[in-house]
Amino acid sequence: MSVQPGWYVDPADTETRRYWDGEGWLGAPIPVDATPPDGPPPAEPPPAPVTPAAPTTDQPVGTAPGWPPHSGPAPQPGHGPAGAGGAPQTGPPGWTPQGGPPGWTPQGVPPGWAPQGGPPGWLGRPPEPRPHGLRLAGYGRRLVARLIDFGLVFALNVLVNGWFVWRWLDELMPYWREAFRRGLEGNTSTEGMPPISEQTGLLQVVIVVIATALWLAYEVPAMAANGQTIGKRLMRIKAVPIAADQPLGFGRALTRWTTLGLPTLLWYCAGLGLLLQLVDSLSPLFDHPLRRALHDKRAQTVVVEVPDTAASPAPDDHPQPSGDTP
């Protein structure tokens, strides 16, 4: 999923802000403290045509005709900037002009160097998004938090659903005992098998409905209040809306839960509910750059790490506003 267009802090220069159009940076930067316009920046006027400089008789050895030498030591062989038409081209550190000599690198930069992140068009990978200035939660933390929550919900089912599960097993045991005995004897006949009562199917529906209701009661109120279940609190992660760093609210928390929790009602349909939940649980591994699961996308949320307040640095004199990078 691409980042929405808007004004963001430039990863290359955190003192400025630029407009991101969904695919790349647009227009000139503005100071980070300035109030950005409501829309994209106005179109820049086309550059004036450049008249080629007259050739001189004093040309450095190995440079293109018409290339004006600049102050400083003579360029080394293979490192002299020469663009199309003989004029040097400029760009960010690590940038190689089109049409330059093979192996050319900018002055003062080690050969082969590339920046470790920047806007599209740089030689390095783009910066990782930080929604509301917070780091995205890794999949490992999210998985452990979910396993902790599943364990707690299972414990609630043992207390509340235990009697119904025992009755269901008691109804099935005569049938399975006879089937096991005939299997040991090599008897494949189904005649005379103990019947499975209609109460068995009703008990199965009751068990699944209670399990779903317990999960809903455990997760939705906690997520609505502060975006954290017990598992997420222990793993120091939380879910926040993409639009703003604020509580999810009951409606968004319920929407988020139904995508993952409601398929529990389909467990008895040949495991269809479990298959849907497995796909949802693995979906953050294939979503870039925000690592959102299907339930995150439906509720427009993202899971981030909770900063450690005890180890947080001193406040900055020039704090960056929310949505610091696209």
What are the pLDDT digits (tens) for 153-172?
999 999 999 999 999 998 88
Residue 57 pLDDT > 90, yes or no?
Answer: no
b/e map 128-163, b = 16+ CB within 10 Å: ebbbbbbebbeeebbebbbebbeebbeeebeeebee
> Which range is least confidently modeled, 102-116, 203-217, 257-271?
102-116
SS3 (DSSP) at 161: coil
Q: How crowded is the C-beta side of 184, counted as CA atoms within 13 Å? A: 5
pLDDT confidence tier of residue 210, bands split at 50, 70 and 90: very high
The DSSP symbol for 16 reads E
> Which pTM was predicted?
0.56
Given a contact cutoff of 8 angstroms between Cβ atoms, the answer to whether 1 and 287 are in contact is yes
User: pLDDT of 221-247, one tens digit each?
Assistant: 999 999 999 999 999 999 999 988 889
Residue 174 pLDDT > 50, yes or no?
Answer: yes
Residue ranges per structural domain of the chain = 1-34, 132-161+199-307
Q: Share the mean pLDDT of the chain.
A: 77
pLDDT confidence tier of residue 80, bands split at 50, 70 and 90: very low
